[in-house]
Structure 1
Amino acid sequence: MLRGVAEWVWYDAGAAAAAIRLGLSPLSTVFGAIVRGRNRRLDAQRALAAIPALSVGNLTVGGSGKTPVASWFAQCLRDLGAHPALVLRGYGDDEWRVHRLLTPGLPVVLNADRVAALGEASGRGADCAVLDDAFQHRRAARVANVVLVSADRFPDPVRLLPAGPFREGLGALRRATSVVVTVKAADRRAVERVEACLREAAPDVPMARVHLVPGGVRRAADSGGGPLGVSENAQAHDTGWLAGRSLLLTSAIADAEAFERQVVAQGVRLVRHLRFPDHHDYSDRDVSRLVSESRNTDGVLCTLKDAVKLASRWPREAVPLWYVSQTLVIDRGAEVLQQECLRVLAARAVTIPTAGLSG
């Protein structure tokens, strides 16, 4: 409930939300001063990392696509011969499960202390790491600092918490090694507006653009979820299968609006979209409600982040539970993303003299 109210205040164009934002502006000024002080303190406490790290973070509260992008970087590093780990705080009971499904076989380390987590990752055989959501966790040293900015959730003007969703202002982009604009359902003009703002704020930082698109449809629970919450050999279809299907949507993600726009664009006949707060832990009552409201439909459709929590609890007698996950498609700046991986490999080669581009 609180998150829903906050997002209304941050993004709604109406007069009431604008008045609340204006009233919260003095608190945003105080928040900005606190952040600047915290940053100075953490910079003074910067600790050497046990292994080279690439950070994937953002400036806002959720919704920029960090999980699929972090997984993409981890897979890229593995393909180049490295042995990466994924390091994250482990907020909620979904992100680590998603990472293990997207990058099977890679260590996933959960620890709010990123410095300690890097040491643990090294002890588990990793020679580099991808830090998921670590741009503001400045105490952990990193060789690459990738910042994501969502073109779908970019309010104008930029406002710091609590009047807006930003943890830091756009000037913070200058400490990034690259900026990646993520696009789910935003139109071309919105994307160009965001990119212009970012170039003005950080003109010397390389920029890339990626689309996060639905990467096929899978049945989440054919006969109960596996150890990660979803069946590993589930029935699958390409996204064209969605056209004309009567589906109930459910999501507990930061950008539910973009998810809905994505699937509607595939031709889904939307029955209803039940939206829950980001990282929401679905209760028995929630599951019962989904089952009840999806009767006489072709099924319930959710994201992978939701499926890892719902699949093992989905009743056999209910309509099918389907999910889509986000696939990363590089629109522009492939060389920028490649350079970030090469930064890590170069640092890895110095740390481990026998290591190179091919491992």
Structure 2
Amino acid sequence: MWINRFWDGEAGLLGALMGVLTLPIELIYRVFIGIKNRGYDSGFIAAKDPSIPVVSVGNLAIGGTGKTPFSGWLVSSLNEAGFCPALITRGYGSDEVWLHRLWNPEVLVVVDPHRFRGVNLAIERNADVAVLDDAFQHRAVGRQLDIVLVAAEHGTRDTLLPRGRLRETFRSLARADAIVVTRKKATRGDAEKIVRWLSGFTSCVFAQVVFEPSGWVNLDGSLVSPPYGDDLLAVTSIAGPEIFRDMVTINTSSKVESFAFRDHHIFKESDIVAILKKSNGRPIIITEKDAVKLKKFSYMLPDTYVLRLCMAWESGRDDLVGIIRDRLKCATPSGLS
């Protein structure tokens, strides 16, 4: 997508022009974010503290870090440790809500744009720990732990919206308790370079994870063989369509064309018609996040393959589990897995 190339500084002359035009807006946004953060840091603006422990999982950037599967791992681990966790989300992007309920049906998912109210609703339903989704910038709710995900693919450009993909500068990571550097297409060496660079902003706990392909299923969730063909169409409504296209290319050794909708797009029947026209008989490849929205159109999309990803730890897992256990005062030494 052009916007990602623009944010990466790879959009050519038009991108350079847009960079100049959006600079004043970025500067205003920087001032606004700075004033808000100073208000919380000084205590002038007070956060509300719920009666149960809270863990925030968030980003600096607009999407593409793997926050949804990481949050899924966290609530699953808390559940296995004997807690009664609840995931609190503002509900933007119903695909994420559906995925969480699919992955962890025993875990309460509360959808409420008012995070503090959402936590209280979870407490009424017997939750004893709340995981706030995408809440690093939402400082109105107090928390015991701030975990921030940073994608190695995003690099180190410190430009804010709308001129860049960041909501805050990297300096804001000084208030994070743990940083998880994620990667999909980037190499492990790339991720390690990001860790070393970020360590200049904070001395918090660092961990690294990689999201790797783990198999293929159809829209009904049944295991299938990999797609057959030299020419495939990758259909997405995610923040990083190019990264997914490249992952499909690597894992199929096929030519892959990307057909990208905006992030969190809700598909309509007219979209399916457009997808079929674009595919022109080619196998269609989609993400798990898009599969939950496209499943109802499975009768129109018989030759569609879902590439599943799994999260694998590369470093820092024990340190991260340790700080989570410490902040939540978890008594069992092997509580989180």
| TM more than 0.5 | yes
Amino acid at match of 2:107: L
Cα deviation code 1:189-227 (max 9, x no counterpart): 53233223201122x11111100112321111xxxxxxx
Q: Distance in 1 between matches of 2:83 and 2:334?
A: 8
Give the counterpart of 1:281 among 262, 266, 275.
266
- 1:327 matched to 2:310? The reply is yes
| Correspondence for 1:10 | 7
The alignment yields a C-alpha RMSD, in angstroms, of 2.3
User: Residues 243, 337 of structure 1: CA spacing in aligned structure 2 closer, same or farther, 3 A cutoff?
Assistant: farther
- The offset of 1:143, in angstroms, is 0.9
Question: What's the TM-score once normalised by structure 2's chain length?
Answer: 0.91
Amino acid at match of 2:205: P
Q: CA deviation at 1:54?
A: 1.1
Checking the alignment, whether the CA contact within 8 Å between 1:182 and 1:211 is kept in structure 2 is: yes
**Contact 2:57–2:146 (CA under 8 A) maintained in structure 1:** yes
User: How do 1:225-264 and structure 2 match up within 5 A?
Assistant: 231=220, 234-237=221-224, 241-242=226-227, 246-264=231-249
Structure 2 counterpart SS, 1:282? coil
Deviation at 1:140, TM superposition (A): 0.9
Corresponding residue number in structure 1 for 2:61: 60
Is the CA contact 2:235–2:285 (under 8 Å) kept in the aligned structure 1? yes
Shift of 1:246: 4.5
How far off is 1:270 after superposition?
3.4
Q: Deviations over 1:124-165 (max 9, x none)?
A: 1211121110000111111111000001122x4311112111
After TM superposition, give the deviation of residue 33 of structure 1 in Å: 1.0
Q: Which residue of 2 aligns with 1:213?
A: 212
Measure, in 2, the Cα distance between the counterparts of 1:245 and 1:101.
32
- Cα 1:145–1:199, aligned 2, differ >3 Å: closer, same or farther? same
The answer for unaligned runs of 5 or more in structure 1 is 221-230, 350-354
- Give the equivalent residue in structure 2 for 1:292: 277
Quick check: 2:86–2:130 contact (8 Å CA) kept in 1? yes
Question: 1:185 matched to which residue of 2?
Answer: 185
Distance 1:138 1:74, change over 3 A: same
Contact 2:8–2:157 at 8 Å: present in 1 too?
A: no
Inter-CA distance 200–100: structure 2 relative to 1 (3 Å threshold): same
Shift of the 22–337 alpha-carbon distance from structure 1 to 2, 3 Å rule, reads same
2:49 & 2:243 partners in 1: Cα distance? 38
Stretches (4+) displaced over 6 A: 355-359
Q: Does 1:146 align with 2:130?
A: no
Deviation at 1:356, TM superposition (A): 9.9
For residues 326 and 141 of structure 2, the distance between their equivalents in structure 1, rounded to whole angstroms, comes to 16
Cα distance in 1 for residues equivalent to 2:111 and 2:230: 38
- Residue 301 of structure 1 pairs with residue 300 of structure 2: no
SS of the equivalent of 1:337 reads helix
> 1:250 offset after TM fit, Å?
0.3
One-letter identity of the residue aligned with 1:197: W
Instruction: Write out per-residue CA displacement over residues 40-70 of structure 1, whole angstroms, 9 at most, x where no aligned residue.
Output: 4456230011321111101111111110111
Amino acid at match of 2:287: T
Residue 252 of structure 2 aligns to a residue whose secondary structure is coil
Task: Work out the CA distance in 2 between the residues paired with 1:358 and 1:336.
Answer: 14
Partner of 2:172: 172
**C-alpha distance 357-151 of structure 1, shift in aligned 2 (>3 A):** closer
- Asked if 2 retains the 8 angstrom alpha-carbon contact of 1:178 and 1:336, the reply is no
State whether residues 70 and 131 of structure 1, in contact with CA within 8 Å, keep that contact through their aligned partners in structure 2. Answer: no
Q: State how far apart, in whole Å, the 2-side matches of 1:327 and 1:114 are.
A: 28
Question: What displacement does 1:261 show?
Answer: 1.4
Instruction: Give the whole-Å Cα distance in 1 for the aligned partners of 2:287 and 2:103.
Output: 13
Secondary structure in 1 aligned to 2:259? strand
- Is the 1:51–1:119 Cα contact (8 Å) retained in structure 2? no
Q: Partner of 2:199: helix, strand, or coil?
A: helix
* Structure 2 CA distance for aligned equivalents of residues 333 and 251 of structure 1: 31
Tell whether 2:95 aligns with 1:98: no
Cα deviation for residue 5 of structure 1 reads 4.9
Q: State whether structure 2 residue 14 is matched by structure 1 residue 31.
A: no
**Residue 209 of structure 1 aligns to a residue in which SS?**
strand
Q: Which stretches in structure 2 are left out of the alignment for 5+ residues?
A: none
Indicate whether 1:343 and 2:318 are aligned. no
Contact persistence 2:248–2:256 (CA under 8 A): no
Residue 121 (structure 2) pairs with residue 127 (structure 1) = no
* Alignment CA distance shift 1:176-1:249 (3 Å): same
Amino acid at match of 2:48: A
Residues 246, 268 of structure 1: 8 Å contact kept:
no
